[in-house]
Structure 1
């Protein structure tokens, strides 16, 4: 039987390698299932992949980055459901049908790599990072043990080391890539809590003190989500007032820390933001660090958006004091343009705090008697099990471009933001919310019909309705994508995010012209 199975395997391999000369043999039957070698025809698969890659290059890369093409081809959910035929059936579709599905998915998706996509904190296309993503998907690795991902384990270590050097941790630290900045911020809350109350890991919250944490009112919503998920509770997240530029006020922070202590609460963490989502503000890290040291609080810096300024000698001052943080979140998939997702969480601690906090010691993965150095089995630092080697996306790009080119990208993006701000100030009907500190440009468009109204409730009430209408029109036209939002008591305004080196001054001028054309009748 063993010999028969060996012959059968050889025959099947020959059959797939040479479809014109199949070799017949008797299958082995197990549970009424014939086991007659591989059922995947490698040649057919390769042919499909080649055709698919041609479509990707033509439709998802060339056309998607062509300024003459649409940013999106808008359809309502009901229309899109009909166009895509989303139902899953028992029978298989033909290869030609599948390729058409492929084309349709690209056609009706938003082209976030388009030069006129300014809607989110990511944009543009880097070819090296894209190829790195292709390699990851082709190899299908999972990053938990060195034995299954040796190359990617070492790549992650190298990238984290470089990022920690830029933060200013001369003695290094620890870290891990994970599934997004929200996850990184959750890690920070969990580690801060573990350092404060390590027994919670085993005993739970029942015997825990009344823990409270502090963050700017401008912080990312993931901080409150982390508090909810970890059982701290959103009411125990103290929102510290910010100044007119969106920066946390340190004196207000200390006041609330003292107030919380006087009420019997146990402060354990402060979250500072380096690059807020809307205004692009940078909290004064040095001053906040002084307060954290005084009160023995964990300082986390959410630099998911603003961390890229660390690669620029011209702009790294925005994060002055970040080397004093206990932990840092930084997303290379934002300003540095690595493919999604690419998110790093780093801690200054070198006592394996990250592993002690998260480890579960799964014996089927993390055996201690392996034949190699098990310190390279990094998976127990993560709350995930399966984990993509996302660091490879920034590593290959960094190798291809070098630090100098990355610095030039950041400098150019911020210079382009300054150009747009200057143009806004010079154009009738446009009003800048504030001078940009980073790559967030916030402004109002005031239609001709509202320009003679005095500042007051009537103007701002009517202006609040303008941006949503212009956004709808630009989406349905497909000309560009720019986000809008209210902020506190301020009426809806546009928030432009500039990242991609594909963006030109002509694109900036186009955005302002297009907003006027789409909204001048309002």
Structure 2
């Protein structure tokens, strides 16, 4: 166990692991080796977890064979697949600190300074958004949890309002209100919105899809009409979810007009900025977030656009009073008469890692301008990649240029199976990695750019390989 008597052993262990990992990072030549599950499963299944190995070194060697040899390296410049970022070195150092000290940021008597650091970062983020003096928030495990908590708050606020407005002779119960609640989101909002509706007892059908424009952004006029229809049907609009950075298209909904409409209808506005939160520190593209200050709640994922290790997300709210909906007092933990700040009072979690330390050390070492510059770099690179693809007859663009850092395209003349084979062959070859989705019912390939070290030349190399693999797939079919 780590403690006073094992401090020297800890130093040696961490130095050994750091040395081994640094050698691997220095030697990485491709983002992935491309194995199938069947290639790796037998070796993992064969491990007898009831019989430990002779030493940590032997155990680490085994992990090297089972995991590191075939790990996906997000820092590689030709990893262009999902919303995974390379991580800032100060944040990696912070991981070592928070893992060793093992702070749980739920109550003051478990975290002390950790509580204050997290609160200061929440305050700083809320200031960047423009939420006002009553804002608050809490770090979470990721965008899915942040969105879930936001919609929980919106749900309970809507129920409270409905109960207060009820004028019937028979008292109305909250459980009777739930079937009437509706959530409004674009067809390109994150899947966690529908998932949250299901978990919150509203059901998937409670999410009303608001049409989007040709740039995959929620249409404000359509939102206004949908809210009117909702009320005419005797239903209750509980929340509008706007997206600042859709996963597939990098689209930012028109937050200003949406905010005005939500306010006019008296509906909670949640902005899912898990992807687009990098715009908060952007010198070039901050204007895309105009109107976000009208939100009642905002999701940010520092482990995307702030280059932090997983996990590092937060939920911010305009009015800290809304967080009462997740507060529960336990005598052994956070009694109601307690006078110290307890982060568990505003979180869905109890035991919770001190993930805020990673962002703190990154900001104090690099500063927000450097982070914003890196995010601007990947957004600008996406524009250049889109132009290159649009000019090459072997490809066709599948969507307009992204507002952030994704590029959707197809291999000219390839069907869905051809795209699948080309993508799989690319990954298996180690030449690069791209993602795939569907646009208007057809498969499209996707570049997701979150590595400021990636250059256009790296992208072109991946595209050339895709074209070659696509040609092979056509010849073999």
Q: TM-score, normalised by structure 1?
A: 0.84
Structure 1: any 5+ residue segments left out of the alignment? 1-12, 18-40, 451-461
Q: Does residue 269 of structure 2 align to residue 289 of structure 1?
A: no
Q: Does residue 395 of structure 2 align to residue 443 of structure 1?
A: no
Q: Does residue 322 of structure 2 align to residue 353 of structure 1?
A: yes
Q: Does residue 70 of structure 2 align to residue 101 of structure 1?
A: no
Q: Which residue, out of 439, 445, 466, partners 1:494?
A: 445
Q: Secondary structure at the match of 2:365?
A: helix
Task: Answer yes or no: is the 8 Å Cα contact 1:214–1:237 preserved in 2.
Answer: yes
Task: Answer yes or no: is the 8 Å Cα contact 2:107–2:342 preserved in 1.
Answer: yes
Quickly say closer, same or farther: Cα 1:391–1:45, change in 2 above 3 A.
closer
Q: Which residue, out of 488, 504, 513, partners 2:455?
A: 504
Quickly say closer, same or farther: Cα 1:44–1:168, change in 2 above 3 A.
closer
Q: Secondary structure at the match of 1:483?
A: strand
Distance, in Å, in 2 between the alignment partners of 1:301 and 1:369 is 34
Quickly say closer, same or farther: Cα 1:368–1:190, change in 2 above 3 A.
closer
Task: Answer yes or no: is the 8 Å Cα contact 2:431–2:462 preserved in 1.
Answer: no
Quickly say closer, same or farther: Cα 1:269–1:368, change in 2 above 3 A.
closer
What is the match of residue 116 of structure 1? 78
Q: Which residue, out of 217, 222, 243, partners 1:273?
A: 243
Distance, in Å, in 1 between the alignment partners of 2:50 and 2:206 is 50
Distance, in Å, in 1 between the alignment partners of 2:411 and 2:303 is 30
Q: CA deviation at 1:177?
A: 0.5
Quickly say closer, same or farther: Cα 1:44–1:314, change in 2 above 3 A.
closer
Task: Answer yes or no: is the 8 Å Cα contact 1:125–1:500 preserved in 2.
Answer: no
Q: CA deviation at 1:284?
A: 0.9
Deviation digits for residues 80-103 of structure 1 (CA, Å, limit 9, x no counterpart): 123345533432211243121132
Q: Secondary structure at the match of 1:70?
A: coil
Quickly say closer, same or farther: Cα 1:207–1:442, change in 2 above 3 A.
closer
What is the match of residue 212 of structure 1? 182
What is the match of residue 50 of structure 2? 90
Distance, in Å, in 2 between the alignment partners of 1:282 and 1:120 is 18
Distance, in Å, in 2 between the alignment partners of 1:267 and 1:301 is 16
Superposed CA RMSD:
2.2
Q: TM-score, normalised by structure 2?
A: 0.91
Task: Answer yes or no: is the 8 Å Cα contact 1:121–1:334 preserved in 2.
Answer: yes
Q: CA deviation at 1:249?
A: 0.9
Distance, in Å, in 2 between the alignment partners of 1:467 and 1:501 is 27
Quickly say closer, same or farther: Cα 1:86–1:256, change in 2 above 3 A.
farther
Q: Secondary structure at the match of 1:301?
A: strand
Q: Which residue, out of 330, 347, 351, partners 1:382?
A: 347
Task: Answer yes or no: is the 8 Å Cα contact 1:143–1:389 preserved in 2.
Answer: yes
Deviation digits for residues 84-129 of structure 1 (CA, Å, limit 9, x no counterpart): 4553343221124312113222112111221111111122231111
Q: CA deviation at 1:72?
A: 1.2
Structure 1 residues 76-475: aligned runs within 5 Å: 76-95=36-55, 96-104=57-65, 105-198=67-160, 205-206=175-176, 208=178, 210-350=180-320, 352-354=321-323, 356-367=324-335, 373-374=339-340, 376-433=341-398, 434-446=400-412, 450=413, 462-475=414-427
Task: Answer yes or no: is the 8 Å Cα contact 2:159–2:178 preserved in 1.
Answer: yes
Q: CA deviation at 1:470?
A: 1.1
Deviation digits for residues 106-156 of structure 1 (CA, Å, limit 9, x no counterpart): 112111221111111122231111111121111111111122112221111
Q: Secondary structure at the match of 1:443?
A: strand
Task: Answer yes or no: is the 8 Å Cα contact 1:482–1:496 preserved in 2.
Answer: yes
Q: Does residue 23 of structure 2 align to residue 62 of structure 1?
A: no
Q: Does residue 470 of structure 2 align to residue 519 of structure 1?
A: yes
After the TM superposition, which of the residue ranges 168-177 and 376-385 deviates more from structure 2?
168-177
Distance, in Å, in 2 between the alignment partners of 1:152 and 1:106 is 32
Quickly say closer, same or farther: Cα 1:90–1:511, change in 2 above 3 A.
closer
Task: Answer yes or no: is the 8 Å Cα contact 2:131–2:295 preserved in 1.
Answer: no
Query: Bigger relative contact order, structure 1 or 2, given CA contacts below 8 A and separation 6+?
Result: 2
Q: Does residue 35 of structure 2 align to residue 75 of structure 1?
A: yes
Q: Secondary structure at the match of 2:22?
A: helix
Q: Pick the structure with greater CA Rg.
A: 1
Task: Answer yes or no: is the 8 Å Cα contact 1:124–1:502 preserved in 2.
Answer: no
Quickly say closer, same or farther: Cα 1:369–1:212, change in 2 above 3 A.
closer
Count of aligned pairs: 460
Distance, in Å, in 1 between the alignment partners of 2:13 and 2:431 is 33
Task: Answer yes or no: is the 8 Å Cα contact 1:432–1:442 preserved in 2.
Answer: yes
Q: Secondary structure at the match of 1:334?
A: helix
Q: CA deviation at 1:247?
A: 0.6
Task: Answer yes or no: is the 8 Å Cα contact 1:120–1:483 preserved in 2.
Answer: yes
Q: Secondary structure at the match of 2:303?
A: coil
Distance, in Å, in 1 between the alignment partners of 2:438 and 2:11 is 50
Q: Secondary structure at the match of 1:495?
A: strand
Distance, in Å, in 2 between the alignment partners of 1:47 and 1:102 is 19
Quickly say closer, same or farther: Cα 1:266–1:340, change in 2 above 3 A.
same
Q: Secondary structure at the match of 1:271?
A: strand
Q: CA deviation at 1:240?
A: 0.6
More helix by share: 2
